[in-house]
Amino acid sequence: MRRTITAACIAASVLLWGTGVDAGKPEFERISVNDSGVDAFFSNLCGFQVIATSVGRITVRTSPDRTVGAVDVVTVNVQTTLSANGNEYTFRNVGADVLRITPEGELILSIIGQLPFSFTGVLKINLSTDEVVLEPHHSTEGDLNDVCATLAV
């Protein structure tokens, strides 16, 4: 589930880069998220059963004919509520993942937004060279410690 949500973080910055080459219309897929069940990751982390309920949407935009500019954009807006022992912990995954091709032919992935228990900001990676071009400056990895404390009895 976390991988699905993570994959959905891509779209707001696309307008900043322009359209590149005049290509065919982009293809859109809109995915509604409404899922609930035992979360293995948090259950193992906390040492007790944790139920996760996620609600929101993911939009995937692909431009298969584009040779320059944004070729894939995934936007995500998903709220997850973790519950255990009569307590709740809520967080949001919001943002966009943008895959673009530069005029030089390099692939650049930008992960933008709030990625729970990882970072807020922008992570930009040149996939052609595996070079991290820009790192986010605000880590939220420490928030994991708060989850179990909040959900404990």
pTM strictly above 0.75: yes
At residue 122, does pLDDT exceed 90? Answer: yes
Most confident of 4-8, 23-27, 62-66, 83-87: 83-87
Q: List the chain domain ranges.
A: 2-151
Contacts of 30 (CB under 8 A, 6+ apart): 57, 58, 59, 60
* Tens-digit pLDDT profile for residues 63-73: 988 899 999 99
